[in-house]
Amino acid sequence: MSPENLAAAKPKEISEKVEIQMSQEHPVLVLFESGLQDLNELFVDDFAKSRQLGNHILLFRGERLRSKDEFYDECVRLMPFARKYFGRNLDALSEVLRDRSIGLSQDPSRRTYWIWRNAHVLYLSQQDLFMKLFAGFVEIARNVSRAAPGYAQHAQSVAFLLTGQWEAMANDALDDQSFLHKTVWWQYRPQPLPEPTNLAVFRVSRPT
C-alpha cells in the first residue's frame, strides 16, 4: 500500500483518515515531514483525548525510547499492574498486551488503542529490536481483533497506531518488501513465509 500524502492537513483530517483504516483492521503509520513535529504531537494528543471515553489507550512516548531498557521502562509506566511479574522481554510483553485491564480494555465491546508516538527514535537507534516489537504488536492486534485460535478469550477490537518522522522511515515505508509491510517471523523455526502486515502509511507534508 503506497503512502497517501496529506498536504497541510489538520489533526482532525488526519484522524479521520486514520480511523477509516483502523475500521478495516489496518495498523497505521503516520509520518510527518521534518519541521512538523509540533503537528505530530498535536495530532496524537487530539487523537488520544477524543477516544479516551470508554476506550482503553496505551500511549507510548517514543521520543524517550532509544534502548530495550527504556522501552520496557515505558511499558511498566503504562502498565503498572504488571510491574511485579513483567519479565522485560518479548514473550512477557505479548502476555501483558493480551491481558484485559492491562494491555486490553476490560470491556470487550470497547476498542483498545496502542499508540506509539515518535516511533522513529527507536527505529533509528535499535532497528532489530524495533522490527521485532513492530511484528509483535501487529500480530497480537490482528489476532485479538479476529479472535484467532488461542486468542478467543481476549477478543476485542485493537487498533495500532505509530507516528514518526518521514525522512527517518521513508525507505522502509516505501519498500513493499520491508518488515513494515511483510512480517518476518523471526521467532519461529522453521520460519513461515512472510505475511502482509496490511500497514496503512500516511505522509503528512508541508504546504507547497
- Residue 197: per-residue pLDDT: 96
Question: Total structural domains in the chain?
Answer: 1
- Residue 183: per-residue pLDDT: 87
Percent over 70 (pLDDT), the chain: 98
Q: What is the average per-residue pLDDT within 166-191?
A: 88
Across all residues in the chain, what is the average pLDDT? 92
CA 143, CA 179: separation in Å to the nearest integer? Answer: 18
- Domain containing residue 86: CATH number: 3.40.50.300
* pLDDT category of residue 1 using cuts at 50, 70 and 90: low
Which grid cell is 197?
502486515
CA 159, CA 141: separation in Å to the nearest integer? Answer: 7
- Residue 122: per-residue pLDDT: 98
Q: What is the average per-residue pLDDT within 95-106?
A: 90
pTM: 0.94
Q: Which residue range(s) make up the domain with 71? A: 4-205
Q: Of residues 101 and 47, which shows the higher confidence score?
A: 47
**DSSP assigned state of 205:** E
Residue-wise pLDDT tens digits, 119-166: 999 999 999 999 999 999 999 999 999 988 877 777 899 999 999 999
* pLDDT category of residue 187 using cuts at 50, 70 and 90: low
Q: Which own/partner contact pairs does 12-18 have at CB distance under 8 Å and 24+ positions apart?
A: 12/46, 14/43, 14/47, 14/202, 14/204, 15/43, 15/46, 15/47, 15/50, 17/202, 18/47, 18/161, 18/200, 18/202
Measured on CA atoms in the order 173, 44, 146, 128, is the torsion positive or negative? positive
Residue-wise pLDDT tens digits, 28-44: 999 999 999 999 999 99
